[in-house]
Amino acid sequence: MTTDARPSTGAGGRRGLVAYGGRVDAGTTSLPDGTRPRGYRPGVVVALCALVCVGSVAGVLALWSVFVDSLTGQQVEAAAVRGARFGQTALWRVAEHVLSVVSVTAIAGVLLVAVVIAVVRRRWELAVQVALVAGGANLTTQVLKYVFLPRPDLGVEVGSHANTLPSGHTTAAASIAVVLLLVVPARVRPVAALVGALYTAATGVSTLIGQWHRPSDVVAGVLVVLGWTAATCAITALWPARLSEDALDGPPPTPRSQTAALVVLGLVVVVAGLVAAVLLDGTWRSAVVLESREDLLTAYGGGVAGSVAAVAAAFAIVLVLRTRAGRRLRNA
């Protein structure tokens, strides 16, 4: 069966097909070297990546301004930290195991595996992406936390007096999940996005259970990784198409699997986001008198819900950007 396409000759005299609207002849295996599917506009993808990158930077700075550099913000998150004490003994048994997975060794191991996968698949730009996302995100978090973003002493005694935004554990977990999503074969990406979001959310919530971090720290860590991922997806969008890459990338995700993953992530964003908005609105209005068990649990629940919503939104965006950037190849 043949779809709309016209024959053309690629590098080395090889015959290929230039697809109309991204469709190609079912009997072909790849596009000619340097040829992009018709209708593919890398400038649009790069613009989307730039918008997400700028939004991520703005989000981190906004979180710091609202929850770290203001008295009300510090009081709200102090209540969330205190609320984590309720039921902590039972929850910590699980959370401790989740957090033990995140380490320098784990990051290095996943980074090595991801680079090997990219090299085996001859996707050199993905190897560059892996290094930039893992290295850039984790370095950025440490620099922001310890150099650029101070925590003023506003008289709130709960939690660490040093700045803890962004969360290093959450950044590490999110970067591990994202680099795997970037390098796996195209058809596996929707599943990788769901599993990565689950792992990252579990890590972020575990830092809240252990009172290691505040909710804004978790969300900021996710935004740091999202920003770096968006920046590196622009590399994929602009990288020249190659026959060897297209042949090894495998078929693209089915529309059903891609849509299903985005629907699941979207539902989590909506439900968790609404819960967070309702709970944190009441907490913010009563920030000065947050003392009862109900008040503290409300603040804690709002922080957890907000963190989960942020993770789901980030991975939905990553999945969309990676898919759009990958259209530079027929089978990406």
pLDDT of residue 329: 54
- Give me the domain span that covers residue 245: 41-328
Q: Is the pLDDT of residue 137 over 90?
A: yes
Structure confidence by residue, pLDDT tens digits, 115-126: 888 777 777 777
In three-state secondary structure terms, 18 is: strand
Under 8 Å between Cβ of 280 and 299: yes
Q: Is the pLDDT of residue 33 over 90?
A: no
Distance CA 117, CA 188 (A): 13
Are residues 157 and 10 both part of a single domain? no
Under 8 Å between Cβ of 305 and 12: no
Q: Which of 6-10, 25-29, 180-184, 265-269 has the lowest mean pLDDT?
A: 25-29
Q: Is the pLDDT of residue 35 over 60?
A: no
pLDDT winner (highest mean) among 38-42, 86-90, 196-200, 247-251: 196-200
Q: How far is CA 133 from the centre of its chain?
A: 10
φ, ψ (nearest 5 deg) of residue 20: -95, 125
Are residues 30 and 116 both part of a single domain? no
Q: Which of 146-150, 199-203, 233-237, 245-249 has the lowest mean pLDDT?
A: 245-249
Q: Give me the residue label for tokens 């002493």.
A: 153
DSSP secondary structure of 108-156 = HHHHHHHHHHHHHTT-HHHHHHHHIIIIIHHHHHHHIIIII------S-
pLDDT of residue 2: 40
Beta bridge partners of 20: 23
pLDDT of residue 153: 93
Structure confidence by residue, pLDDT tens digits, 45-87: 899 999 999 999 999 999 999 999 999 999 999 999 999 998 8
Query: What's the chain's average pLDDT?
Result: 83
CA angle 177, 151, 214 (to 5 degrees): 40
Q: Is the pLDDT of residue 332 over 50?
A: no
The two structure tokens encoding residue 84: 């984590």
Q: Is the pLDDT of residue 13 over 60?
A: no
Are residues 205 and 89 both part of a single domain? yes
pLDDT of residue 71: 94
Are residues 66 and 149 both part of a single domain? yes
Higher pLDDT, 288 or 12: 288
Distance CA 210, CA 228 (A): 27
Residues in Cβ contact with 78 at an 8 Å cutoff, skipping those fewer than 6 apart:
156, 157, 158, 159, 290
Are residues 2 and 109 both part of a single domain? no
Q: How confident is the model at residue 261 (pLDDT cuts 50, 70, 90)?
A: very high
Q: Which of 21-35, 104-118, 133-147, 302-316 has the lowest mean pLDDT?
A: 21-35
pLDDT of residue 24: 39
Beta strand residue intervals within the chain, DSSP E? 5-9, 15-19
Are residues 210 and 305 both part of a single domain? yes
In angstroms, what CA-CA distances link 241 with 229, 260, 287?
20, 28, 55
Query: In total, how many domains does the chain have?
Result: 2
Structure confidence by residue, pLDDT tens digits, 146-205: 999 999 999 998 888 889 999 999 999 999 999 999 888 888 999 999 999 999 999 999
Are residues 178 and 312 both part of a single domain? yes
Q: Which of 199-208, 271-280, 299-308, 320-329 has the lowest mean pLDDT?
A: 320-329
Are residues 163 and 206 both part of a single domain? yes
pLDDT of residue 110: 82
Task: Report the percentage of the chain scoring pLDDT > 70.
Answer: 83
Are residues 50 and 25 both part of a single domain? no
Distance CA 247, CA 250 (A): 7
Are residues 105 and 213 both part of a single domain? yes
Q: Per the omega criterion (within 30 degrees of 0), is the bond before 32 cis?
A: no
Are residues 18 and 60 both part of a single domain? no
Distance CA 305, CA 80 (A): 12
The two structure tokens encoding residue 64: 């710091």
* Residue type present at position 93: R
Are residues 45 and 34 both part of a single domain? no
pLDDT of residue 90: 84
pLDDT of residue 287: 73
